[in-house]
Amino acid sequence: MEFLPLFHNLRGSRVLVVGGGEIALRKSRLIADAGAVLRVVAPEIEAQLSELVVQSGGEMILRGYSESDLDGCVLIIAATDDEPLNAQVSHDARLRCVPVNVVDAPALCTVIFPAIVDRSPLVIAVSSGGDAPVLARLIRAKLETWIPSTYGQLAGLAARFRNQVKGLFPNVQQRRAFWEDVFQGAIADRQLAGQGAEAERLLIAKIAGEPPPETGEVYLVGAGPGDPDLLTFRALRLMQQADVVLYDRLVAPTILDLCRRDAERVYVGKRRAEHAVPQEQINQQLVALAKQGKRVVRLKGGDPFIFGRGGEEIEEL
């Protein structure tokens, strides 16, 4: 591992950006979003960057770079198309032991910018160490589609009650078990479904020691054409949290392998020389399992509502 992943609190700190064009603007937006105060040095500074500097409460210096511009700065960004100038900025920052990033020049950097998935307060960073930034951006794009914005709200919910839970469970193992149960249970499901008030009510009840309601849950999940890459993030999450999985013949083994390892697996499809499980029996089985308080996934190949009789199962539930 060439670079150690760290998250830097820049709020209220001064950051120097050398350069006044589009490259400098892109980096400055990230810096400003983190709450830093911008100092931008360049003979010319484009209008959008000027506005950003003003919004951050920073300063613009309309001249060429000087080594003294580093004074009071905790991070240095060289964002020009002048390679000798970028190298000089890197050299000066290293002499002062101040972290420096030079755009598109990993060899001149002591810190690099990752591709970011922002679900604040949850933030995910993806980096190739500067070797393949396009690949890192493509991976970030996949994560953007897989991780809904409600995960940030779930993290925010946990943050609001973190100290209360810490006081309730002084032992770190107990706290870990508590939060694992929260993030893999009904509380997380409610928050991720946009039911924030209900999620908070359940969390407060859990902290108070109230027993959880003995109501089970049934989810109909379409496995699609059999390619695991085509599963939605929500489908994968439900499969990995299920107590029982009812599946049919059209579900590919590669899909079934993604289910929770210790989940009970019940085949309800049709094989050669075997009778299919009647639909009415499947419906009754789903209801019975839910009444036992279990989390059930009805996993169907293809679309559950096109030849899949998913509507009948929902009606029964």
Which tens digit of pLDDT belongs to each residue from 94-115? 999 999 999 999 999 999 999 9
Whether 172 shows a pLDDT value over 70: the answer reads yes
- Mean pLDDT computed over 46-74: 97
Q: Residue 255 has which token pair?
A: 């899909």
If pLDDT is split at 50, 70 and 90, which confidence band does 229 have?
confident
Residue environment code for 159-174, b if the CB has 16+ CB neighbours within 10 A, otherwise e: eebeeebeeebeeeee
Stated pTM of the model: 0.71
Angle at 203 between CA 200 and CA 204, to 5 degrees: 85
Whether 17 shows a pLDDT value over 50: the answer reads yes
Whether 204 shows a pLDDT value over 50: the answer reads yes
Q: Residue 142 has which token pair?
A: 């996949």
Between 288 and 41, the higher pLDDT residue: 41
Between 311 and 31, the higher pLDDT residue: 31
Phi and psi, residue 37, nearest 5°: -100, 125
If pLDDT is split at 50, 70 and 90, which confidence band does 225 have?
confident
Identify the pLDDT of residue 189. Answer: 86
Residues sharing a CB contact under 8 Å with residue 83, sequence separation 6 or more, in sequence order: 105
- Mean pLDDT computed over 27-52: 97
CA distances, 204 to each of 160, 162, 187, 208, 295 (Å): 11, 12, 10, 6, 22
The residues annotated with a catalytic role in the active site are 248, 270
Given CATH 3.30.300.30, say whether it is the number of domain 217-316.
Answer: no
Q: Is 211 helix (H, G, I), strand (E, B) or coil?
A: coil
Could you report the per-residue pLDDT of 75-88, keeping only the tens digit for each?
999 999 999 999 99
Provide the strand spans (E) within the chain.
14-18, 37-41, 59-61, 75-78, 100-102, 115-119, 122-126, 217-222, 244-247, 264-267, 295-300
Whether 316 shows a pLDDT value over 70: the answer reads no
- One-letter amino acid at 19 equals G
Q: Is 10 helix (H, G, I), strand (E, B) or coil?
A: coil
Identify the pLDDT of residue 304. Answer: 57
Could you report the per-residue pLDDT of 115-124, keeping only the tens digit for each?
999 999 999 9
Whether 136 shows a pLDDT value over 60: the answer reads yes
Q: Residue 162 has which token pair?
A: 């973190």
By percentage, how much of the chain surpasses pLDDT 70? 92
So what's the architecture of 1-113 in CATH? 3-Layer(aba) Sandwich (3.40)
Identify the pLDDT of residue 250. Answer: 87
Identify the pLDDT of residue 307. Answer: 46
If pLDDT is split at 50, 70 and 90, which confidence band does 306 have?
very low
- Mean pLDDT computed over 10-21: 98
Query: Minimal CA–CA distance to 36: which of 75, 78, 65, 7?
Result: 75
Query: Minimal CA–CA distance to 39: which of 20, 60, 57, 23?
Result: 60
By percentage, how much of the chain surpasses pLDDT 90? 65
What are 1-7's contacts with CB under 8 Å, separation 24+?
2/129, 3/111, 3/112, 3/127, 3/129, 5/114, 5/125, 5/127, 7/123, 7/125
Domain locations along the chain: 1-113, 150-207, 217-316
- For the chain, the average pLDDT equals 90
Q: What distance separates the 2 farthest-apart alpha carbons in the chain?
A: 84
